[in-house]
Each structure stands twice: as structure tokens, then as C-alpha cells.
Amino acid sequence: MTRVAFFDTKPYDKVWFDRLCSEYDVEIVYFESKLNEKTSALAAGYEVVCAFVNDSITEAVIETLYAGGTRLLAMRCAGYNNIDFKAAFGKIHVVRVPAYSPYAVAEHAMALLLSSIRHTHHSYVRTREFNFSLNGLVGFDLHGKTIGVVGTGKIGRVFIDICKGFGMRVLAYDPYPDDKLGVTYCSFDQLCKESDIISLHCPLTEETVHIINRDSIAMMKDQVVLINTSRGALVDSQALLEGVRSKKIGAAALDVYEEEGEVFYEDKSTTILDDDVLMLLISMPNVLVTSHQAFLTREALGNIARTTLASIASYIKGDVMEHEICYQCDTCHKVIGQRCF
């Protein structure tokens, strides 16, 4: 039976992995700590390590894991920008979960949008205190508004379908347009200039880091609404704060934040945050922040566990791993009978 070191464990992770691990002949040892340079030694003797989106998998971590016998890193998430692939290549195979539930993330993005423009989160707090005033709660209709969707992959396409159901005009930006979507593709600059609402659904790459910045915000309509459920570093947080303060940005709803690693998923209610920008954003009445929970549905958690365990099983049997990632290319792992190394 293969033993797996499972980092950054939360109770909701264990439910599905415990339920399914016996089907894949896997024994999981759970660690609550994140995987980083201080904790990587805990994985000594484990051939497989399971990590998550906010773990820090640097060159030093890779070297420690490899020296301890780890040969497979199973990421139970879609993103992998937190991994030093150059260090891992030739030593440790890396797999991920590319599509656990596009509906979960897209629906959460719409929930954030609706909450932001109709102020339901403020109404909830008010009525809990028996304040039934409607002052300051005026919103606007989504019907007829223009929404700009950045990234039209699996999640972006589901989100577009939802927006169409609201009767919205959809503009889209993606380096690889999908002509079957029935939306208007345009340049990113045009999308910024014409959209009443902008929602981010693209991966974090060298090209998309801080795609939302001072320059792009300056091009946007006054009182634009910004939604981000993808990756925190797509947005320059300082520029966002300035945009909110200047009232250029009418509302922002974030499920991710570029410096979330040591904050999100943790209870910080009794501590003072070191991140002044995050504290100021949360304090703004027109900024709504959730703690990277867009993925958190029963369906998504089940899919994450099944896909991760299936990849581990394929590795154990020596089969080609469908969801392996290689820093040198993105196709070699798809060739039947061939691994990345």
C-alpha cells in the first residue's frame, strides 16, 4: 500500500479522501501544516506528497522531497504557479486536477457579483441588528449591462452562459478564441473600455501577472465592477485599492488575493494582519472578500479526491498519468506510453 503525505489538511479534505482512498490502495497521513521549506522534511519516506494551492514548493522544497524519497507531487487543485518546475523536472512527477467543477467557481463568481451590486451582505448584517433601513442599498439591474470576461476556458464558458441567462451583453478576451461561444471577442483594452463589469477567469502566467493594474484600471468605465475568482496576482492589489479609493472602481469582489498564502484558509480573527492593503480592502464598504472558497462544493471536493487518487494509482502502476504537468512542454504527457521523464 502506497503511503501519501497530505499537507495543508482541512476537515472538508478528509471527508472525501478518507471515503475513497481504500478503493485506490492508498494510505494517507494528514499534516495540518502547509508544505514549505520548514515542513518539507515531514515528507521523508513518503513516495507521494499531496499539496494545495497555497503551499510553497520552491527549489529547496523539491530538493528536500527528492532526498526523502518523494517521486510524485499530487496537487489537489488546478493552479500550479507555486511550483518550481525546473527544479522538479527529472526528479519528481507533478500532477494536478485541471477541472474539478467549473460550475462551482462560475456560480460563486455570479454570487459575488449579485451580492456586490445588490448589497445583500450588508443587508444581512443590518437585519441581524434589527436595522431594516434601505438607505445605501440601491443596486442596479444586470439585464442589458456589458460584462467583460477575461478567459474563456471551462470556467469562463460556464460563467458566460450564466451571464447570458441574465440578458447581459458579453465581451470576451482570450488568446485562443472559441468561435462557438456566440460572444464578441475583442482586445483586452477594448474590453476594459466598454465593460460595466469585468470578471477574471484566466490562469496566472507571465503574461497575465497584474493584468489588472493602474493602466488598465484607468481605461475602465467609471464605477466599473471587478470580480476575481481565478488567481490573486492577476490583480495589482495596490492599484485596486487606489481605484476603489478614487471611486473609479464602483465595487470589487475577490475570492483570491495575491498575498493570500499565509492568511486564507486560516482563522485570523484574534490577530492583527500584517498586510495593510488587505485590511484596507476588507474595510471598504464596496469591497467583498471571500477566502478562496469558490471551489468549495460537495461535487468539486468529490471530483478533486477522485482525480487526485486516480493519478496516484496510475503512477503506482507505471501508467501514463493523464494530468501530469511538464515544465518543458504541455503535450508530452499526453503521448500514449510516454511520461515526461
Estimate the share of the chain in helix, then strand, then coil, as percent rounded to the nearest 5: 40, 15, 45
What value does the CA radius of gyration of the chain take, rounded to a whole number of Å? 21
For this structure, is 169 an active site residue? Answer: no
CA distance 65 to 47: 9
Catalytic residue among 93, 260, 323, 333: 260
Report which of 304, 251, 262, 261 is spatially closest to residue 104, judged by C-alpha positions: 304
Catalytic residue among 76, 119, 201, 292: 292
Strand partners, 51: 75
In the chain, which ranges are E strands? Answer: 2-6, 26-30, 48-51, 72-75, 93-95, 146-150, 169-173, 184-185, 197-200, 224-228, 249-254, 287-289, 324-325
- From residue 211, alpha-carbon distances to 55, 200, 218, 232, 252 in Å are 23, 10, 12, 11, 15
For this structure, is 299 an active site residue? Answer: no
Strand partners, 225: 197, 251
As given in the structure block, the three cell numbers for residue 117 are 451590486
Catalytic residue among 76, 93, 108, 231: 231
Instruction: Count CB atoms within 10 A of the CB of residue 330.
Output: 9
For this structure, is 63 an active site residue? Answer: no
Q: Name 186's Cβ contacts closer than 8 Å, sequence gap at least 6.
A: 171, 172, 173, 194
Beta 93-95 vs 324-325: how paired, if at all?
antiparallel
Q: Tell me the catalytic residues.
A: 231, 260, 292
